[in-house]
């Protein structure tokens, strides 16, 4: 190891013993990108009254919803009080999985009337939304109007306007909109977040994120997703349809909405070279089911979007779910002193062009910079599972925040901003990659909002039931 590398690791090994600070970032100028009006209430710093037992109702019991019920049931201090899905058989299946536990949820099925009745119940504090994307905002708005916090699964927005509606609903009701971006709780992403907070990377210059996952065949599988809802999204939209996995951890590191803001973006898509052929094949086997898609112009295989922040930093996002590529949720952090990258490699760190740090050096960095949150809950999360444990870590975290009256990690402004990248990318693609402004959903509060604080220095930590 050369002297530069040895001195660098020695210096930042000492600095790395700390964890994320909640100190304020120096205020920057207030730019509102043409938006008018002032926030009715700033949800970024809001601490809702403590809820000793968090009573949850689940709406949408497909793949993600059913898995969420299983994870939540491991937590102490929660009560599963409602289950709802348009398909009665899904409700019965998930409820059957709770037999033998103390959970006795009320069951709902059917369309709008079912989820509305669940949202109106007095014995529910949080509505956990796992439906298809088109219902996310209508249910969230209705639930918050009726006094419920919402935990909102990831997806993209149908329009920027519905993102503003989500912000208004949360601010007006003073109810949290907890955005369930699980990748923000993956272990390497949390490690690099703490390293960034402690100055290891120097000034962050550029970050990259992606969702590259070949799910093309599953889009045409009638048993995978209710009413082929995700195929419908791919048949009518052309842009980045799944931006938040790559963007969320990057925004945390760059203090977006909490010291910096996304300013404008350009987006470009390739043509479609696979989905139309798969549609023709599916149509030849089942012309009734796939007739609505016969005239569709499917989104391009690869979408690449470039974003510039108010402070002059840049982000590259990519989306491709229909090419035969190796899975990648690219997470790249480039600073003036060091670089981190996960995918296609395992998580690696570099302090120069000589190459990546070796396994022994990486182990020392992990020992120095792993958050107390991960040290406390990480092994347990890996045992319970959910994308390697990050899903459980995410759910444990927001439940613990509600039970202790803490600010939540990812609020309505994050939900609105990250989801808005979808329709904004479509607008840019449709106009030959013209730059589009990105709204400031905090309406100026980004310049004084506190950065994320993942500390767990309170005493009433949420417990976990025995893992069988």
> Mind listing the pLDDT tens digit for each residue in 226-243?
999 999 999 999 999 999
Q: What is the pLDDT of residue 32?
A: 37
Q: What is the pLDDT of residue 40?
A: 74
Pick the CATH number of 185-372+416-447 from 2.40.50.140, 3.40.50.300, 3.30.360.10, 3.30.700.30: 3.30.360.10
pLDDT, tens digit (0-9, with 9 covering 90-100), for 351-364: 999 999 999 999 99
- Between 415 and 9, the higher pLDDT residue: 415
- Between 443 and 39, the higher pLDDT residue: 443
3-state secondary structure of 245: helix
Token representation of residue 167: 């912000």
What is the arithmetic mean of pLDDT over 22-26?
Answer: 31
Q: What is the pLDDT of residue 112?
A: 87
pLDDT, tens digit (0-9, with 9 covering 90-100), for 359-390: 999 999 999 999 999 999 999 999 999 999 99
Q: Kindly give, in sequence order, each residue whose CB lies less than 8 Å from that of residue 393, ignoring residues fewer than 6 positions away.
A: 185, 373, 374, 377, 378, 381
Of the given ranges (244-248, 260-264, 409-413, 454-458), which has the lowest mean pLDDT? 454-458
Q: Kindly give, in sequence order, each residue whose CB lies less than 8 Å from that of residue 65, ignoring residues fewer than 6 positions away.
A: 58, 59, 85, 94, 128, 130, 131, 153
Any idea which architecture 43-182 has in CATH?
Answer: 3-Layer(aba) Sandwich (3.40)
Handedness of CA 412, 69, 155, 296 (dihedral sign): negative
Strand partners, 127: 57, 150
What are the boundaries of each domain within the chain?
Answer: 43-182, 185-372+416-447
With bands split at pLDDT 50, 70 and 90, how would you rate the model's confidence at 25?
very low
- Asked if residue 455 has pLDDT above 50, the reply is yes
- Asked if residue 440 has pLDDT above 80, the reply is yes
- Between 263 and 5, the higher pLDDT residue: 263
CB 139 within 8 Å of CB 108: no
- Asked if residue 20 has pLDDT above 80, the reply is no
Q: What is the DSSP letter of 464?
A: B
Q: What is the pLDDT of residue 193?
A: 98
Task: In whole angstroms, give the CA distance from residue 294 to residue 273.
Answer: 15
Strand partners, 463: none
What is the arithmetic mean of pLDDT over 96-115?
Answer: 93
- Asked if residue 206 has pLDDT above 80, the reply is yes
Burial 247-271 (b: 16+ CB within 10 A, else e): bbbbbbbbbbbbbbbbbbbbbbbee
**Number of neighbouring beta carbons within 10 Å of residue 32:** 14
- Asked if residue 7 has pLDDT above 90, the reply is no
What is the arithmetic mean of pLDDT over 19-35?
Answer: 36
Token representation of residue 95: 């409820």
H or E segment and range at residue 55 = strand 54-59
Note the pTM of the prediction, 2 decimals. Answer: 0.92
Task: In whole angstroms, give the CA distance from residue 179 to residue 124.
Answer: 18
Residue 202: asked if its preceding bond is cis (omega within 30°), the reply is: no
Quick check: do 43-182 and 185-372+416-447 share a fold?
no
Compute the C-alpha angle 117/120/126, nearest 5°. Answer: 110
CB 450 within 8 Å of CB 33: no
The CA–CA distances, whole Å, from 363 to 185, 369, 386 equal 19, 10, 24
The backbone torsions φ and ψ at residue 152, rounded to the nearest 5 degrees and listed phi first, read -110, 120
The backbone torsions φ and ψ at residue 339, rounded to the nearest 5 degrees and listed phi first, read -135, 145
Q: What is the pLDDT of residue 111?
A: 82
3-state secondary structure of 331: strand
Percentage with pLDDT > 90 across the chain: 89
Q: Kindly give, in sequence order, each residue whose CB lies less than 8 Å from that of residue 295, ignoring residues fewer than 6 positions away.
A: none
């Amino acid at each position: 190891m050369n002297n530069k590398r040895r001195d660098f690791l020695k210096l930042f090994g000492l600095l790395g013993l700390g964890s994320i600070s909640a100190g304020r970032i120096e205020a920057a100028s207030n730019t509102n990108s043409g938006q008018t009006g002032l926030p009715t209430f700033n949800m970024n710093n809001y601490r809702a009254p403590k809820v000793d037992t968090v009573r949850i109702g689940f709406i949408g019991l497909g793949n993600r919803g059913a898995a969420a019920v299983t994870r939540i049931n491991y937590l102490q201090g929660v009560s599963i009080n409602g289950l709802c899905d348009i398909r009665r058989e899904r409700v019965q299946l998930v409820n059957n999985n709770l037999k033998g536990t103390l959970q006795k949820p009320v069951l709902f099925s059917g369309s709008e009337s079912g989820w509305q009745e669940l949202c109106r119940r007095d014995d529910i504090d949080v509505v956990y939304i796992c439906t298809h994307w088109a219902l996310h905002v209508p249910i969230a708005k209705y639930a918050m109007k009726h006094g419920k916090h919402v935990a909102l699964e990831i997806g993209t927005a149908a329009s920027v306007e519905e993102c503003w509606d989500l912000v208004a609903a949360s601010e007006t009701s003073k109810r949290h909109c907890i955005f369930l971006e699980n990748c923000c709780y993956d272990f390497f992403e949390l490690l690099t977040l703490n390293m960034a907070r402690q100055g290891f990377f120097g000034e962050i210059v550029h970050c990259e994120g992606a969702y590259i996952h070949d799910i093309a065949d599953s889009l045409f599988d009638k048993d995978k997703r209710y009413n082929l809802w995700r195929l419908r999204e791919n048949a009518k939209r052309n842009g980045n349809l799944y931006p938040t996995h790559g963007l969320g951890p990057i925004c945390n590191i760059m203090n977006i909405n909490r010291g910096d803001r996304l300013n404008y973006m350009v987006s470009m898509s390739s043509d479609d070279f696979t989905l139309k052929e798969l549609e023709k094949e599916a149509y030849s086997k089942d012309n009734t089911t796939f007739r609505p898609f016969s005239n569709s112009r499917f989104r391009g295989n690869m979408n690449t979007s470039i974003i510039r922040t108010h402070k002059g930093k840049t982000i590259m996002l990519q989306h491709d779910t229909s090419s035969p590529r190796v899975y990648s949720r690219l997470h790249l952090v480039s600073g003036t002193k060091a670089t981190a990258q996960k995918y296609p490699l395992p998580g690696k760190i570099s302090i120069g062009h000589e190459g990546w740090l070796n396994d022994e050096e990486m182990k020392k960095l992990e020992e120095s910079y792993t958050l107390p949150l991960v040290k406390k809950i990480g092994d347990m999360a890996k045992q319970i599972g959910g994308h390697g444990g990050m899903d459980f870590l995410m759910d444990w975290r927001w439940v613990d925040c509600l039970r202790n009256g803490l600010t939540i990690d990812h609020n309505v402004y994050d939900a609105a901003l990250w989801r808005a990248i979808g329709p904004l990318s479509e607008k840019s693609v449709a106009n030959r990659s013209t730059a589009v402004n990105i709204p400031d959903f905090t309406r100026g509060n980004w310049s004084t909002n506190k950065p994320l604080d993942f500390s767990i220095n309170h005493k009433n930590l949420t417990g976990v039931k025995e893992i069988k």
